[in-house]
Every structure is written in C-alpha cells, then in structure tokens.
Amino acid sequence: MSKNKNYWQANLKLMTICLVIWFVVSYLFGIILVEQLNHIRIGGYKLGFWFAQQGSIYTFVALIFFYANRMHKLDREHGVHEDDE
C-alpha cells in the first residue's frame, strides 16, 4: 500500500512541476507579464509576444516529452510498466 502511495506522490510531484512551468510560460509570460516582457527585445522580437506565439508552444512540446520520459522511468522503478521490453 505504501508502495502505491510513493508512486502516486512521485507522480503528483512530477505533474505539479510540469503544470507550474505550463502556467508560467503561457499565462504569466504570454498574457499577464506580456507588457513588461515586451520591453525586452531578442533578435528584434518583443519577448512577451514571442512567448505568446512561439515560446510557450516550444515549451509545451518539450514538457510533453519530458513528462512521458519521466513517467516511463517512474513506472519502471515501481514495477507498474505495461510493456515487457
């Protein structure tokens, strides 16, 4: 039972980290702080605008891969993986 609990705790921790990053790049950088970030320019583009249009999406894709990868490892550590390779 505690083994399951450990697994779930690790799962929740990973999920929280990912969702915080998800929130920061989209809502915080892309919407709430966009005006402040727009004062910074990188390669001629306003940083806030860049986050709203591209930066957040790059981060999202990276997040999904990161989550899948870590979850795969976690499943193996706790012996709940489904594939037998």
Partner 1 sequence: MSLQTTTYLIVGLTFAIYIGIAIWARASTTKDFYVAGGSVHPVANGMATAADWMSAASFISMAGLIAFMGYGGSVFLMGWTGGYVLLAMLLAPYLRKFGKFTVPEFIGDRYYSKAARIVAVICLIIASVTYVIGQMKGIGVAFSRFLVIDYDVGLMIGMASSSSTRSSVA
Contacts of residue 21, defined as CB under 8 A and 6 or more positions apart, other chains included, come to 59, 63
The residue to which tokens 């605008």 are assigned: 49
| Pair 18, 10: CB distance under 8 Å | no
Site map 10..39 versus partner 1, x via CB under 8 A: -----x--xx--x---x---xx--x-----
Residue 80, SS3? Answer: coil
| The one among 10, 24, 33, 63 contacting partner 1 by CB under 8 A | 63
Helix residue ranges per DSSP H, 1-51: 2-23, 34-37, 47-50
Residue 60 touches partner 1, criterion: CB under 8 A: yes
For partner 1, which is the closer residue by CB, 31 or 42? 31
Residues lying near partner 1 in the complex (CB under 8 A) are found at 15, 18-19, 22, 26, 30-31, 34, 49, 52-53, 56-57, 60-61, 63-64, 67-68, 71
